[in-house]
Structure 1
Amino acid sequence: MRGKFKGFLCSVLIFLSGVFSYQVQSIMLLPDKQSVAVGEPLKINFPAPLQKTLKAQIDGVADCFDPLSGPVASQPGQLQVRLSLFGVVHVRDVLVSVLPQVKVVPGGQSIGVLLHSQGVLIVGHTAVLDESGRKVKPAEEAGLMEGDIILKINDETIHSDSQVRELVAKAGAAGEPLLIEVKREGELFTKKVKPVFCTDTMQYRLGLLIRDGAAGIGTLTFYEPESKIYGALGHLITNLGSTQPVELSDGEIINADVQGVHRGKRGQPGEKIGVFPAEKKVSGTISKNTKLGIFGCLKNPVENTSFREAIPVAMADQIHEGKAEILTVLKDDKIEKFEIEIIKINKLARQDGKALVIKITDQNLLEQAGGIVQGMSGSPIIQDNLLAGAITHVFVNDPTRGYGIPAQWMIEESGLLSEYKGDQQPAA
């Protein structure tokens, strides 16, 4: 009998040891950095049966607290939080950034995006038929390449393609070369190019195809009612055919009506077909073109019939796999809700706009658009009545799936949190 009891006791101890080891391993897998909003608890993906054993202690404060239910701090700043089992066995330190509770109005409106770049972009070369009948490419022969940005010609700052044409015509008539200052992948250099008289067009030409801006359709993600700061797209606007950003001179967003949708299918992303009506229901400046979207200020208030009041922005650590919904426009200017599922989260993918993997589950959206289409970039993702993120990309080989980014990252990039940056320490 005594032997059986010893065997049972040994089994219990082994079981408890296993449970304890599992608890420690679970905590060690937790991230060592987290963000929470003022007044909110930590978001820790810890097995439910073991949650009661987890205690937290703020560096410099004697008392322990339950990190899963109690608020971490009452004002913004940074905290070092020590996690332990039963408040005794220390297993993990977490650096917690406490951010202000930001509330914004979700977007969903289709917008026209009009960008004017610094200088003009070379988008290609074309042959010039000279007076001897030869086809020449003076700019290409001088070393100018597709993707280069022309910043100055003869020390005159360039703003438009028409300005380039005027300078080329003037230099050509005078029989003089042009000194062209170019930016290529961050490097500045100067090339000398002599215009050639084209017998086809009867004009002096350099053999360049250039563009002085960008235009397209996207979706407004959010705006903050007091400051009128907005965010949209969720990704960078790049120069045609490259990964280089459009270097912003100025720009604006205006409202766009969707006249139709080309359905997406495997290998062929669909797109919204939009027009820019004369009546500007949405109008705003563009001050930033970043990897996390475009940002600026609205000139006039906009309306979202689904969310007339501002809602909180989810911290990246609050987003979870499961059901959510997006707001976007498929017809005219009507914002509609569509069901999706967040199927994967990678919080390290901040630079490529692919932190969230989503799947369209709404049959209505699948029937009308085939899934995610071009023009949906920036469509807000709502989860648990929080602004969780924005759609950024579509899977080319599966338009029912795509990527998104957390709204917290867009809020940080927009400048709404700039006044809270620093080393201030919050009160527990």
Structure 2
Amino acid sequence: MNSPLRKKLLGLLFAFFLCLISQAIQPVQSYASLPDEVQVFAGRQAEVRLAVPATSSAVVDRPDIVGLDGQEQAVNVTKQEPLHLHPQQTGQAKLTLKLWGKIPVKTVNVNVIPDLRVVPGGQTIGVKVKSAGILVVGHHLIRAGQDQRVSPGEDAGIKLGDLITHMDGKRLDGVSGVAEAVERAGKSKKGIDVVLKRGEETVKTRLTPAYDAEDQTWRLGLYIRDSAAGVGTLTFYAPDQGVYGALGHVITDMNTQTSIVVGSGQIVQSNVTSISKSESGDPGEKRAHFLKESKILGNIERNTAFGIFGKMSNNPDHSLYSKGIPVAFSREVKEGPAEILTVVEGQQVERYSIDIVHVADQSEPATKGLVLRITDPKLIEKTGGIVQGMSGSPIVQNGKLIGAVTHVFVNDPKSGYGCFIEWMLQDAGVMLKKETSKNLKAG
């Protein structure tokens, strides 16, 4: 065989082997993108879609915890057909996927958690929150002399959104504490040692009050606030845990747009008095009031990206449910019909039809999990779509609580975003986060 022919044959043979290797490697790489863990509820059959790249089979090491399609032996897995899991009891099992039914390429931890049911809300609530310190919302200049204007706070490097927690070593519990410290420091002509939170950072600084010649008092040159109030919607009440979740999004200060760190707070009964309808460019709002004698429904302990959470001892009045319903994992949410629960007049919760038009693939907590569109003509007639104050309205699909309304599309008020209930339940402490559940022992 001459040399050119030999080289050509060797080249073809090399290309053939490369093709074989790439066909074997590509499926293995695709398996790496599959989830490392799947959570399911005990006693409730679950469908899990695994986008396997090639003919595969699945087997579990603990069929007493999780069965596969009612069988103990391996079952086939395809892209088109979901894998049916049959959780028997709480614990953990390992689901092994085998390429071509022979080569183990991926192990998925199946974490079976206790069945969970919560009561959907929909009630309009008044929200009163006090920050864990004094929030800086602006600077202003003080007339300290004929031609002298100063802002001691700005000169000390204090920024908008900073949370002042201590002055001269004393923890602040209200604006009144600031006034006392400022007057004391001004009269003694001494500066104030300040500790503040700036995001996750703790900052220390020192500022000296200036005497306001116009108002004849000592000032810091800062606009500050220690509380906020508003209206939202209750999402769920978890009777077994005695907690609730509401709003579906973080409470931020209206001036600085920074999230409020909760020191204390309450949610109370609220009564919707009127609706300012949504229009393109104007999201509209619920107008509601809550009086001093309004019934306190619960406290506020946390303010997170997915809403506010705290203790609640009883299912509030006007609930459409007397007991809990199942909740859905994010992977169970489907595009198609659903309903929201909300109040548009007085205190009566009503159901309204919507369509889920997009579902995001979220394996970790993230906002804007789904896109929804209001289809109920009655709700559109009353509100024009989604209005401010409707955030937190629970979304129910196929008899399961799946999420909450969070935001309106300003230019299309019939549409908006929602978050998955799974992430709200994690922040409420009702459902364990995945990194926590990995440490649980099977049993």
Same fold (TM over 0.5): yes
Q: Which residue of 1 aligns with 2:422?
A: 408
Aligned partners of 2:272 and 2:347 also within 8 Å: yes
Deviates more, 1:118-127 or 1:194-203: 194-203
Distance, in Å, in 2 between the alignment partners of 1:77 and 1:413 is 22
Q: Which residue of 1 aligns with 2:248?
A: 234
1:187 aligns with 2:201: yes
Distance, in Å, in 2 between the alignment partners of 1:42 and 1:127 is 62
Q: Which residue of 1 aligns with 2:373?
A: 359
* % identity of equivalent residues: 38
Deviations along 1:251-291, one digit per CA (max 9) or x if unpaired, are 11111111112222223222211211344345211122222
Q: CA deviation at 1:33?
A: 4.3
Aligned partners of 1:116 and 1:250 also within 8 Å: yes
Q: CA deviation at 1:55?
A: 6.4
Aligned positions of 1:115-134 closer than 5 A: 115-134=129-148
Q: Which residue of 2 aligns with 1:73?
A: 87
Aligned partners of 1:37 and 1:315 also within 8 Å: no
Q: Which residue of 1 aligns with 2:149?
A: 135
Structure having greater relative contact order (Cα 8 Å, sep ≥ 6): 1
Q: Which residue of 2 aligns with 1:272?
A: 286
User: Do the aligned partners of residues 64 and 304 (structure 1) sit closer, same or farther apart at CA in structure 2, a change above 3 Å counting?
Assistant: farther
Aligned positions of 1:164-313 closer than 5 A: 164-242=178-256, 244-313=258-327
- Which 4+ residue blocks in structure 1 deviate beyond 6 angstroms? 26-30, 84-92
Distance, in Å, in 2 between the alignment partners of 1:204 and 1:133 is 18
User: Do the aligned partners of residues 120 and 28 (structure 1) sit closer, same or farther apart at CA in structure 2, a change above 3 Å counting?
Assistant: closer
Aligned to 2:362, the other structure's residue is in SS state: coil
Gaps of 5+ in 2: 1-27, 64-71
Distance, in Å, in 2 between the alignment partners of 1:411 and 1:160 is 31
Q: Which residue of 1 aligns with 2:25?
A: none
Distance, in Å, in 2 between the alignment partners of 1:163 and 1:278 is 24
User: Do the aligned partners of residues 289 and 422 (structure 1) sit closer, same or farther apart at CA in structure 2, a change above 3 Å counting?
Assistant: same
Q: Which residue of 1 aligns with 2:60?
A: 58
Matching residue within 17, 37, 42 for 1:38: 42
Q: CA deviation at 1:335?
A: 0.7
Task: Count residues with an aligned counterpart.
Answer: 401
Distance, in Å, in 2 between the alignment partners of 1:60 and 1:37 is 16
Distance, in Å, in 1 between the alignment partners of 2:147 and 2:345 is 53
Deviations along 1:29-74, one digit per CA (max 9) or x if unpaired, are 9756433211223324589xxxxx9964213555246996865222
Aligned to 2:388, the other structure's residue is in SS state: coil
Aligned to 1:269, the other structure's residue is in SS state: coil
Aligned positions of 1:329-408 closer than 5 A: 329-348=343-362, 350-408=364-422
Gaps of 5+ in 1: 1-23, 48-52
Aligned to 1:294, the other structure's residue is in SS state: strand
User: Do the aligned partners of residues 88 and 181 (structure 1) sit closer, same or farther apart at CA in structure 2, a change above 3 Å counting?
Assistant: closer
Aligned partners of 2:62 and 2:93 also within 8 Å: no
Aligned partners of 1:82 and 1:92 also within 8 Å: yes
Distance, in Å, in 2 between the alignment partners of 1:197 and 1:320 is 63
Aligned to 2:157, the other structure's residue is in SS state: coil
Aligned to 2:185, the other structure's residue is in SS state: helix
- TM-score normalized with structure 2 length: 0.81
Distance, in Å, in 2 between the alignment partners of 1:27 and 1:176 is 66
Distance, in Å, in 2 between the alignment partners of 1:387 and 1:173 is 59
- The amino acid across from 2:44 in the alignment is E
Q: Which residue of 2 aligns with 1:160?
A: 174
Distance, in Å, in 2 between the alignment partners of 1:55 and 1:210 is 62
Deviates more, 1:124-133 or 1:359-368: 124-133
1:100 aligns with 2:114: yes
User: Do the aligned partners of residues 63 and 147 (structure 1) sit closer, same or farther apart at CA in structure 2, a change above 3 Å counting?
Assistant: same
Q: CA deviation at 1:385?
A: 0.8
> RMSD of the TM alignment (CA)?
3.2
User: Do the aligned partners of residues 133 and 349 (structure 1) sit closer, same or farther apart at CA in structure 2, a change above 3 Å counting?
Assistant: farther
Aligned to 1:331, the other structure's residue is in SS state: coil
User: Do the aligned partners of residues 130 and 273 (structure 1) sit closer, same or farther apart at CA in structure 2, a change above 3 Å counting?
Assistant: same
User: Do the aligned partners of residues 350 and 236 (structure 1) sit closer, same or farther apart at CA in structure 2, a change above 3 Å counting?
Assistant: farther
User: Do the aligned partners of residues 28 and 337 (structure 1) sit closer, same or farther apart at CA in structure 2, a change above 3 Å counting?
Assistant: farther
Distance, in Å, in 2 between the alignment partners of 1:45 and 1:71 is 11
Aligned to 1:200, the other structure's residue is in SS state: coil
Aligned partners of 1:285 and 1:299 also within 8 Å: no
